[in-house]
Amino acid sequence: MKKIIFLLPLLALVSCYDAEHNCKDFKTGKFKFEFEVNGVKKTTVFERKDDIEIETFEGKTDTSAIRWVSDCEYILQKKHPKNMAEEKAISMKILTTSKDSYTFEFGMVGSDEKQRGTVFKID
């Protein structure tokens, strides 16, 4: 019984933990996102300025419009889509932040399928 009484306050503290959300720190700046495709590491670099994002991936640059839904959620829409897949908007949600990075969840607008990644601020 004494062990249960000791664990209750500890459990209460852990359950109250709230992930850091300083999303405003990531609305502008230069960022890097690394991911793996078929065992090969890929890197994309992008710069965000409030309502626009300029991305460079494998030597190609593309521009997307940003519509902020909240401080931690936004919708990306390619300005010059090259195919039907690029015409679809992408929903982005920042889940947690740290000093120089954030973890996010993303997927096509209207789809339940989501992926996660981590972005690092480089400037």
pTM of the predicted model over 0.85:
no
State the architecture of 23-121 in CATH terms: Beta Barrel (2.40)
Distance CA 118, CA 33 (A): 7
> 41 CB contacts (<8 Å, ≥6 apart)?
34, 35
Binned at pLDDT 50, 70 and 90, residue 44 comes out as: very high
Distances (CA, A) of 11 to 7, 18, 90: 6, 14, 37
89 touches 110 (CB < 8 A): no
The residue type of 17 is Y
Query: What is the phi-psi region of residue 122: left when phi exceeds 0, alpha when psi lies from -120 to 50, beta otherwise?
Result: alpha
Binned at pLDDT 50, 70 and 90, residue 21 comes out as: confident
Q: Identify the pLDDT of residue 34.
A: 92
Q: Is the pLDDT assigned to residue 116 strictly greater than 80?
A: yes
Q: Identify the pLDDT of residue 50.
A: 77
58 vs 13, higher pLDDT:
58
Q: Identify the pLDDT of residue 86.
A: 86
